[in-house]
Amino acid sequence: MRIHDVRVVPSTGAVGLYRPPQGPLQLQVPIGMEGVPAGAALAVLYKSFVVFKRTRRAAARLAALDGVETEHGSGLPLATGDFAFFDAFALDALFDRADPTRVLALRERRARRQASSSEGLHRQLHLAVFDTEGTPYVERPVGVRNEAHYAADDLVGLYCFVAYDFYERFLEVDIVYPWGRFAAEGVALAAEFRHRHLFADATLYDADVAACARTRQALQDVLRAIDRKTRFRTTDYRALYDALDRYLNGGVHAQGEAGLIWGVNNFWAVWESACLAYAATAGEADVVTCDFEHLPPELFDAAREQEWLQQRERFFARNEIKRRPDLVVATTHDMRIVDFKYYAELAALRPQSTAQDLSKLERDFINIELYGLLLQNTLLKTAEPRANAIALEIWIPGIDHRRISPSRQPRWDPPLTIVTQRAVDVLQAYSALYRARPTSVVH
């Protein structure tokens, strides 16, 4: 992946690195991020995808009718179904799912086999410890020692350099976050590898295109030399080598194939999760209920989840249907229902089709209307003053923030507002959760 050659284009569907039939790679970015440089956009997207994969998303939910509660299936598949992740560059294998203990275990090891014999003990007496009766004790048995060397030190050093470069130079994240107590050893191995094989300021992510190209070529040469010289190739060695090969050679398994090679084929679920985290952590109002399965787990706990479930049942479970609005917030004076949608634009006019089957856009307007009426109905039964102070909002991505209300008569009741949120702000806040810990609970 040569980040300097990537062309940025907006996308209403798939988001990530796309290989066109001809020409350089394209970075398909979310609506509203088309003005962000490729490197910065890719860093935000990588961290956002990692955060999203922590959520309790499910394939059945992602493919279900929007706004209706259904039974869940198993976890989200990586390469099949209506929603999928693609990763020809092995970024997940190298930087998200990699276990530093297993990587460091690939370093040179010596297997010793020694015959337990007293022959030659007299030549070790100067190393022995004697007890009061004059009996010698040596540290290890004396005898012939056979050694087997597993020479993968350079592969581990190459990985440590690539990982340090990716975290520190590209993501601008301290390597202590992903590597923990193994960070010091990893940094030392990266520095040693750089000293032996590269130049002082070598990096794959720099403004100097020629310098980055030299670094990439040097790393590719070292990787090939390592594989030629390594005699013992374990499963862990082969997995790490293949991942590094894909990373340094731009997704070799996808060469010549047009299509998405890294990213998600439908971005709407990530956008909805990012909006939910953005709204829920704003602190403007109390969260009454939300679609918490798309909320990063570090933002809520089990007690809060049970409270949200009870409120969802109270307000929106009617007539054999369990509905699940994206977000409902409340203050002492009013309540607001927010629905998150991934549309390039949304006119402040309710679509009215004469076709037998409703379009998705029509269903979206019907859903939020039902949410408002159900909430209002429940509040009126208890003479709650906020029953007449309910607002509806639909959030969509864009470059600039703006609010538009429908003007067609009869007017919306509860009132509806189309809110365009700055996609850059929402996704940057979401990607910041990449380094979050489960301590900041939404109230």
Is the model's pLDDT at 311 over the cut of 60?
A: yes
Q: Looking at the structure, tell me whether residues 229 and 365 fall in a common domain.
A: no
pLDDT at 235: 86
- Reading the block at residue 433, the tokens are 């959760």
Whether 17 is in a domain gets the answer no
pLDDT at 329: 93
Q: Which of 217, 249, 281 is the last residue of a domain?
A: 249
- Reading the block at residue 429, the tokens are 């806040």
Per residue in 380-396, pLDDT (tens digit) is 988 888 888 899 999 99
Residues 6+ apart with CB under 8 A from 292: 300, 304, 305, 308
Q: What is the mean pLDDT of residues 335-352?
A: 84
Q: Looking at the structure, tell me whether residues 275 and 423 fall in a common domain.
A: yes
Q: Looking at the structure, tell me whether residues 223 and 337 fall in a common domain.
A: no
CA terminus-to-terminus distance, the chain: 42
Q: Looking at the structure, tell me whether residues 273 and 216 fall in a common domain.
A: no
Q: Looking at the structure, tell me whether residues 422 and 301 fall in a common domain.
A: yes
- Structural domain for 209, as ranges: 90-114+124-249
Q: What is the mean pLDDT of residues 315-344?
A: 91
Whether 420 is in a domain gets the answer yes
CB atoms within 10 A of CB 249: 16
Whether 148 is in a domain gets the answer yes
- Reading the block at residue 401, the tokens are 């923030």
Q: Looking at the structure, tell me whether residues 384 and 411 fall in a common domain.
A: yes
Whether 311 is in a domain gets the answer yes
Q: Looking at the structure, tell me whether residues 426 and 288 fall in a common domain.
A: yes
pLDDT at 257: 67
Whether 194 is in a domain gets the answer yes
Q: Looking at the structure, tell me whether residues 197 and 272 fall in a common domain.
A: no
Number of domains in the chain: 2
Q: Which of 220, 249, 278 is the last residue of a domain?
A: 249
pLDDT at 441: 47
Residues 6+ apart with CB under 8 A from 307: none
Whole-angstrom distance, CA of residue 363 vs CA of residue 234: 54
Per residue in 72-95, pLDDT (tens digit) is 333 333 344 456 787 888 888 888
Whether 107 is in a domain gets the answer yes
Q: What is the mean pLDDT of residues 144-172?
A: 78
Per residue in 13-72, pLDDT (tens digit) is 889 988 888 877 889 999 999 989 989 999 999 999 999 988 876 555 555 444 444 333
Dihedral sign for Cα atoms in the order 95, 101, 102, 103: positive
Q: Looking at the structure, tell me whether residues 286 and 429 fall in a common domain.
A: yes
Q: Looking at the structure, tell me whether residues 318 and 184 fall in a common domain.
A: no
Q: Looking at the structure, tell me whether residues 135 and 213 fall in a common domain.
A: yes
- Residue 144 — very low, low, confident or very high, per pLDDT cuts 50/70/90? low
Q: Looking at the structure, tell me whether residues 311 and 391 fall in a common domain.
A: yes
Whether 151 is in a domain gets the answer yes
How do 390-398 and 416-422 pair as beta strands?
A: parallel
Per residue in 193-248, pLDDT (tens digit) is 999 899 888 999 888 888 988 999 999 999 999 888 887 788 888 889 999 998 99
